[in-house]
Amino acid sequence: MTNDRRMIKAIRGTRDLLPPDTALWNLIETTARDVFRAYNLQEIRTPIFEATELFARGVGEETDIVSKEMFTWEDRGRAASDKAQSLTLRPEATAGIVRAYIEHKLWDRGLNKLFCVGPMFRRERPQKGRYRQFYQIDAEVIGPASAGSDSPARDAEILEMLATLLDRVGLTEWNLELNSVGCPNDRARFNEALRKALGPVKDKMCVDCQRRAVTNPLRVFDCKVPEDQPIIDKLPRIGQFLDEPCRQHFEAVQDILKGVGIPFHINDRLVRGFDYYTRTAFEFTHGGLGAQNAILGGGRYDGLSEALGGPPAPGIGFAIGEDRLVLSLQEKQSAESVTRRPAAYVAPLGAGMNREAARLARELRRQDLVIELGDESFRLKKLFETATKAGAKYILIVGENEAKADSFALKNLATGEQISVPRAELANKIRA
């Protein structure tokens, strides 16, 4: 250790999630797990870092994420002769899950509906709702087409599940924006038309768009530069280039959504910032979030498995931005209201009473009560102060007389009412 005693802070774009907010995070994750269970999704946990190539090939070299936002480093082996490998902190979960699907031949085990919860990393400019380490709840449904994984029924099922989940966590004012980005053939024709349309105007656009216009014109729609928006508004739309099967697929998704009563609107500019998407693409937005208004995004990726060296396996999935979902919920619900406060503060009074207090606290905690425990060195005044600060409802005095009588003084800290309660009745009294 050095003598330097300066304070060290968390890195910009990362943050500590503190109580009571963590109670809201837990509420969201518990609700998601409950809802996912009803749809037969199972949990997968993939590594936080992967080979850089996975994202370059999966997400696409020309996307913002791969071209400028990844945390990538050259990892050398321990021996001088080891070759360096390029590794990347995962910027998203889909590529890793599809890699795992292929690597473990999950289709053989009938595992085709997976979810994961965890941190993702993107080198973005930090602002409200945008962090460099953020958290996603991600789900993917993938499998051979013979199992129906390319069916519009899967798309509608995923969207209906999301609407259910958002309603269940208490976020009601969401908007579902829907589009189809077609298949690779449609995209080739669309890119050609875009290249043509961009030719005479691209010099007036930002440098990124000038590059995109040549390399991957579709990505022009990811542009957020305000001056470029009037130009982008006049460009052709992917919807005009869908072939008949893609058009029918999109129609079928909409038809089922109407059938189950999930409102949506078509956003023909929505292409999402990943090259793996095919057909259905969607986002759920929420007004309260300002510029970063997408709570979650997702879509279909029918060619991703093959692009990563796997068998044909159409898939569809989404990722919820947990940070943003928490922000939206905080407007309606305080984290305090979902936090479980201590039911009682067990207060050992006098030398030698820690032992009896520990026994009592153990019994009460085993009956699912939240218990804070004091220390025999505290005077009565300090015991009361600590109990109040902890937010406990009751203080339970454990002194020598109480221990002998096996009956304890239980005082309601709000009303001041105090009663003596036999050990066997304590849990019920505290709960009531």
In the list 35, 218, 296, 395, the residue contacting ligand HAM (rule: CB under 6 A) is 296
CA distance 331 to 325: 10
Nearest approach, Cβ of residue 255 and ligand HAM (Å): 22
Instruction: Pick out residues in 334-393 that bind ligand HAM (CB under 6 A).
Output: none
Nearest approach, Cβ of residue 116 and ligand HAM (Å): 10
Instruction: Pick out residues in 83-102 that bind ligand HAM (CB under 6 A).
Output: 92-94
Query: How distant is the alpha carbon of residue 407 from its chain centre?
Result: 48
Nearer to ligand HAM, 65 or 392 (CB): 65
Query: Does residue 286 interact with ligand HAM by CB under 6 A?
Result: no
CA distance 153 to 314: 13
CB-based contact 406:423 (threshold 8 Å) = yes
Nearest approach, Cβ of residue 322 and ligand HAM (Å): 8
Strand 278-286 and strand 294-300: the pairing is: antiparallel
Query: Does residue 275 interact with ligand HAM by CB under 6 A?
Result: no
Bridge partners, residue 397, by sequence:
347, 409
Nearest approach, Cβ of residue 176 and ligand HAM (Å): 13
Query: Cis bond leading into 20, ω under 30°?
Result: yes
Query: Does residue 303 interact with ligand HAM by CB under 6 A?
Result: no
Other Cβ atoms within 10 Å of 170 Cβ, number:
14
Strand 371-373 and strand 344-348: the pairing is: parallel
Query: Does residue 324 interact with ligand HAM by CB under 6 A?
Result: yes
Element (H, E) at 184: helix 184-198
In the list 124, 157, 160, 363, the residue contacting ligand HAM (rule: CB under 6 A) is 124
Tell me the Cα Rg of the chain: 28
Stretch that binds ligand HAM, among 125-133, 160-168, 194-202, 422-430 (CB under 6 A): 125-133
Minimal CA–CA distance to 135: which of 10, 298, 295?
295
Query: Does residue 302 interact with ligand HAM by CB under 6 A?
Result: no
Nearest approach, Cβ of residue 274 and ligand HAM (Å): 6
CB-based contact 372:340 (threshold 8 Å) = no
Nearer to ligand HAM, 95 or 213 (CB): 95
Contact map string, positions 230 to 269, toward ligand HAM, x by CB under 6 A: ----------------------------------------
Query: Does residue 282 interact with ligand HAM by CB under 6 A?
Result: no
Nearest approach, Cβ of residue 113 and ligand HAM (Å): 12
Phi, psi of 259, rounded to the nearest 5 degrees:
-60, -40
In the list 242, 246, 319, 349, the residue contacting ligand HAM (rule: CB under 6 A) is 319
Bridge partners, residue 275, by sequence:
none
Question: Which runs of E-coded beta strand occur in 248-291?
Answer: 265-266, 278-286
Residues near ligand HAM (CB under 6 A), total: 24
Bridge partners, residue 317, by sequence:
140, 299
Nearer to ligand HAM, 292 or 354 (CB): 292
Instruction: Pick out residues in 140-179 that bind ligand HAM (CB under 6 A).
Output: 140
| Residue 363 vs residues 282, 344, 370: alpha-carbon distances, Å | 51, 13, 11
Nearer to ligand HAM, 154 or 202 (CB): 154
Nearest approach, Cβ of residue 423 and ligand HAM (Å): 50
CA distance 66 to 215: 14
Q: Find all residues with CB under 8 Å of 255, minimum gap 6, and list them.
A: none
Query: Does residue 222 interact with ligand HAM by CB under 6 A?
Result: no
Residues that bind ligand HAM (CB under 6 A): 92-94, 122, 124, 129-131, 134, 136, 138, 140, 294-299, 317-319, 321, 323-324
